[in-house]
Amino acid sequence: MDQQVVIRMEDLGKRYRIPVGLAGQGVDVLTDTSRNAFDAGLRKLRQSVEGRKKQDFWALKNVSLNIRRGESVGIIGKNGAGKSTMLKLLSRITEPTRGRIELSGRLASMLEVGTGFNGELTGRENVYLNGAILGMGKAEVSRKMDAILEFSEIGKFIDTPVKRYSSGMFVRLGFAVAAHLEPDIMIVDEVLAVGDARFQKKCLEQMAHVVRSGRTILFVSHQMPTIRELCSRVICLKEGRVVFDGETDAGIRCYQMEGGALENDIDLSGKARLGHISGALRMSRLELLDTRDCVYEPEAPIVFRVTMACLLDLQNPTMMLEVEGSRGTVGLSFSEVFAGEMKAGESYQLTMAFQGHRLAPGGYGVSVSVGRGNAFEGISTFDNVLSAFSFEVLSRKQGELRENWKAHWGSVHLPPPEALNFQRL
């Protein structure tokens, strides 16, 4: 049976307006002396009345997602990718600029453990207050008080003002309240990064229990092991858009590749060169063609174009490529003589393609160098950029073997050996 959709996001977008020219203002403040502070105040007043120039910034854009009951979904992405914005919209802290979200069931977010704790109140008073903030009734909290107390290991300090708590106690109590709230949808943001190892383990177990009990959980974390352990689905965000939505391992790989900045138009001129290069030629730009996010379906050709400036007359240069897996394990090398003659002072563009490459799903980095000669006769290198570009091979097709590819299966997906003969002896 199709599971009920508990979170439905449609064309969700959140726009922030950021004032431009803030840097200039900073200078204003620095140069203000007390003599013209009044003028500055007037200027500020005028600015605030007239309104400063604003620039639009979409923290989240065109996001449409369905999350079903019982799913545990990891939301990952680099800082600024839009994760927090998504959570803020879900937990109704701020309103979307566009689109809508439909939630079914009670949602509780643990954007920060111990939110709303008041230092002057005792642990017990705070539990009631916190429960109320999270939407629990008094009777409900009373019913769960014992479980909360036991889980938090606060013991006799429960009637002490929480300002006298250690930070560990504070966090434990906060987590205990939230973990026992039993909402239909739970949003957890990095809370598992707190407390000692034993308590973290306990929290993880509690989370796993919540997942097993059929509730829906959204995790935001930078800790991939936690995501791997708890999530059955991963949504990877980049610059406010969903760049990946699917199986956990593939999503994590997608995220890890993000670290290498998956750009499809790379300026090579500023990149570091390694080893001895003659400088007879210099690569300036590398573009990955026919892709926006550098993610390719398996066996889809990876086409790229290198722009280079020739400084000395050259004959029969060779393009050398080294492909590395994201874990730095597998190396594949290729070299290809690509041209006849190159004249000094001219610029050239070379387009190449990996056809039928059989790379397994995963992230890859490619080092590019141009030189002359080959591995047998010795190579003289003109120019060489390590990890010049990165790409990802990823199957988005449901039910394909390669959609569920595990990293330890290797980096090359070869056709399986054929059974030639099978007979009873």
Partner 1 sequence: MAQEPERLKTVIAAGGKNLQYWKDLWRYRGLAWHMARRDFTVRYKQTAIGLAWSLVNPFINMLLLSFVFGSLAGFGEHTDIPYYICVYAGILPWTLFARSFTVAAGTFQSGAELMKKVYFPRLTAPLSSMLSSIAETLISYLMLFLLMGVLRYTPPARILLSFPLMLPVALLGTFLGLFVASFSIRYRDIVHMVPFLMQMGQYLSPVAFTLEDMRGKLGESSLLFHILYYANPVSGFLTTFKWLILRDQSFRLDWRALAIGFVWLAGSAVLGILRFRKAERTFVDIV
* Alpha-carbon gap, residue 383 to 278, rounded angstroms: 7
Whose Cβ is closer to partner 1: residue 134's or residue 393's?
134
Q: Which is nearer to partner 1, 70 or 260 (CB)?
A: 70
Question: Which of 85, 380, 121, 124 lies closest to 237, judged by CA?
Answer: 85
Q: Which of 117, 234, 233, 231 is nearest to 175 (CA)?
A: 117
The C-alpha atoms of residue 64 and residue 86 are separated, in whole angstroms, by 11
Whether 395 and 298 have beta carbons less than 8 Å apart is answered as: yes
> Considering beta carbons, is residue 102 or 267 the nearer one to partner 1?
102
The two structure tokens encoding residue 383? 């120019």
**Could you give the residue ranges of the DSSP H alpha helices within 153-303?**
167-179, 197-212, 224-230, 248-258
- Residue number, 116 or 279, with CB nearest to partner 1: 116
Which of residues 93 and 337 has its CB atom nearest to partner 1 in the complex?
Answer: 93
Q: How far is the CB of 119 from partner 1 (least distance, A)?
A: 9
Q: Min. distance of Cβ 260 from partner 1 in angstroms?
A: 32
Q: 59 or 227, CB closer to partner 1?
A: 59
Q: Given CA atoms 246, 247, 250, 252 in this order, what sign does their dihedral have?
A: positive
Cβ-based neighbours of 371, under 8 Å, separated by 6 or more: 317, 318, 320, 379, 380, 381, 382, 384
What is the chain's length?
Answer: 425
Which residue do the tokens 């141009």 mark?
370
> Rounded to the nearest whole angstrom, what is the least distance from the CB of residue 2 to partner 1 in the complex?
12
Non-local (6+) Cβ contacts of 20 within 8 A are 52, 53, 54, 55
For the bound state, the minimum distance from the C-beta of residue 94 to partner 1, rounded and expressed in Å, comes to: 5
Residue 187 or 286: which CB sits closer to partner 1? 187
Rounded least distance, CB 138 to partner 1, Å: 6
User: Would you say 90 and 218 are in contact if contact means Cβ atoms under 8 Å apart?
Assistant: yes
Residue with Cβ nearer partner 1 (162 or 230): 162
Residue 17 beta carbon to partner 1: minimum distance, rounded to whole angstroms = 8
CB-based contact 314:280 (threshold 8 Å): yes
Positions touching partner 1 (CB under 8 A) are 16, 48, 88-107, 109, 111-112, 115-116, 118, 120-121, 125, 128-129, 132-135, 137-138, 161, 184
Q: Contact, 162 vs 173, CB < 8 A?
A: yes
CB of residue 208 to partner 1, shortest distance in Å: 23
Q: Which is nearer to partner 1, 103 or 309 (CB)?
A: 103
d(CA 10, CA 217): 19
Nearer to partner 1, 88 or 402 (CB): 88
Q: How far is the CB of 5 from partner 1 (least distance, A)?
A: 12
Q: Nearest-CA neighbor of 339 among 328, 331, 347?
A: 347
232 vs 222: CA distance, rounded Å: 16
Q: Quick one: how far is CA 96 from the chain centroid? A: 21
Q: Name the minimum Å distance from CB 154 to partner 1.
A: 19
- Comparing C-alpha atoms, which of 250, 213, 214 is closest to residue 235? 250
**What is the smallest separation between the CB atom of 150 and partner 1, expressed in angstroms?**
23
